[in-house]
Chain A
Amino acid sequence: MTKSHRTLFYDRHVALGANMIEFEEWEMPLYYRLGIVEEHLATRREAGLFDVSHMGRFLFRGKNTIPFLQHVLSNDASSLNINHSQYTIIPNAVGGAIDDAYLYRFSDDKYLLVVNASNREKDWKHFKGIIKDFNKVEIIDQSEDIAMLALQGPISEHILTSIINSGSLPEQKRNALSNAKINGYDVQIARTGYTGEPICFELFTKRENGPMLWDILLKNGAIPVGLGARDTLRLEAGLPLYGHELGIDQEGKEIPIFSCPLSKFAVSFSSLKDNFIGKKALAKQYSSIENLPRTIMSVAVLGKGIAREGCKVFKKEKYVGFITSGTMVPYMKNNIKRLHAICLGLLDSNLKIGDILNIDVRGRRIDGVIVSCFMPKRKRGKHVSR
């Protein structure tokens, strides 16, 4: 058995009574004492604190950093100003995803790429294999040197404002970054996240300052949230997870990057961006829907039961694809907490919003309907009453 890793917050998770699980070779909290449902709701109504230090963090620097990033990433890294970040994909030559990632530019000459924990080694090898053809660009694995936390939800901005000593929050738009001091320590702040919350932050600080940051955020009202609710929150927001909506599908086929609707924000065909890995295949995917037999769609389950990854989907009696992720999420109705089942599926591209589907759940057929999204649209800054 491979040795499992622990983040620097491991002792804190245990002290908070977390139910720890093995996730991609990491010992991580699945949920704390409140449980998945309450942690989900706490993030939507207040502020959830997530240990995301298991993710990979690669620093790129040197004169040829931009040409290198332009070559290995799908988005236009040259358009990234200081104090901005962008969603991006690490494409392969056939237009599939090696990983999806976030690129942060906190200073003039350094770029930080955050990748999925499960792909950290694979991505590293991929970059190392290509970087040798580039002069004057350096890649450094800082995963162990930097602590990374996510603070998500309506009151997260109040919490941060109340604990910042100097510097400021990033300007009020998604993907903006800033540098600030908390308790006298440098913290880099990004308006990014994986929950669909309009008010959202990810925080980076030196490893040794991590516990201080964790403690001060909890003390000021953040609620610790485990991987269980991280998954229900991202699913409710319709966000893809590598290995489910990106990568290799369960039939063993490469999922075309553009099958994922969010990919249009992560792929650039800008003239500033020369040739890059997978460009030709991606341009073909982009040019015509016929090149994308299946697309990731959101499906609300109408019948009783939970559609899980792997469930086959039918329209009338025709097989139209399969579920890639599925769960139940809580919602409030007349002040009563209820659960409803939602899922994402890789489904025939000609299906439309409103189409009724049958999902095979352990031999039983339950109805579902294709929807545009699961969450009602909320405006940034409009606080949900507590």
Chain B
Amino acid sequence: MFPDELKYTKTHEWAKMEENTDVVIVGITDHAVKQLGDIAFLELPEAGNKIKKDSPFGAIESIKAVFDLTSPVTGEVIETNQQITDNLELLNTDPYEQGWMIKIKIENKNEFESLMNASVYEGFLNEKGEEH
């Protein structure tokens, strides 16, 4: 259900290492998109901003509420996806490719490696589902 080549957080972000670089691409999973309902607004940081693992890097709003976007890694934002802020529908139709949010130049590859893989994330969701 979730792409195998990506890593995942408990706050439903995905992260992907660009090949042969120290750049991580970050977005949110389709599970997160479904949970949000009608997405109304996306606030992303500007390139050059320093962000920290487990700290908010932006916000996503549904009609009803605001949710933080949490960074999976520490580093510097080098690019944000200008396409999606004007076309939020991409988060629904293509959350893992065109729906990417930011690119981060990371400092510590171990932070990326220690994120959940697809099957662990799926297990995490199932476990959470059982609690409800």
> Judging by beta carbons under 8 Å apart, are B41 and A305 in contact?
yes
- Cβ contact within 8 Å between B41 and A31: no
Instruction: Give the tally of cross-chain contacts (CB within 8 A).
Output: 41
The interface on chain A, measured as residues whose beta carbon lies within 8 A of the other chain's beta carbons, has a size of 19
Task: Say whether B111 faces chain A, with CB atoms less than 8 Å apart.
Answer: no
CB–CB A228/B41 < 8 A: no
**Nearest chain-A residue to B63 (Cβ)?**
A36
**Interface residues of A, dominant DSSP:** mixed
> What is the interface size of chain B, counting residues whose CB is below 8 A from a CB of the partner?
12
A18–chain B nearest beta-carbon distance, Å: 12
Interface status of B128 (Cβ within 8 A of chain A): no
| C-alpha gap A304/B42 in the complex (Å) | 9
Q: CB-nearest residue of chain A relative to B56?
A: A362
Within 8 A of B (CB), among A21-59: 30-31, 35-37
| Residue B37 interfacial (CB < 8 Å) | yes
Say which residue of B59, B61, B64 sits within 8 Å of A36 (CB atoms). Answer: B64
Q: Which residues of B sit under 8 angstroms from A175, Cβ to Cβ?
A: none
Q: Is A272 an interface residue (CB 8 A)?
A: no
CA–CA, A339 to B87, complex, Å? 11
Contact B38 A306 (CB under 8 A): no
Once the chains are docked, how many angstroms separate the CA of A328 from the CA of B64? 9
Asked if B43 CB lies within 8 Å of chain A CBs, one says yes
Do B63 and A37 touch (CB < 8 A)? yes
> Please, how many angstroms separate the alpha-carbon atoms of A306 and B65 in the complex?
10
- Quick one: which of A35, A305, A339 contacts B43, CB cutoff 8 A? A305
Per-residue CB proximity of A311-353 to B under 8 Å, as 1/0? 0000000000000000110000000000101000000000000
The contact string, 1 if C-beta is below 8 Å from chain B, for chain A 150-188, is 000000000000000000000000000000000000000
Task: Determine whether the beta carbon of A306 is less than 8 Å from that of B37.
Answer: no
Of all chain A residues, the one with the shortest Cβ separation from B68 is: A362
Tell me the A residues contacting B by CB distance below 8 Å.
19, 30-31, 35-37, 228, 231-232, 304-306, 308, 327-328, 339, 341, 362, 364
Apart from A228-B37, A341-B40, list 4 A-B contacts with CB within 8 A: A36-B64, A228-B64, A305-B41, A306-B66
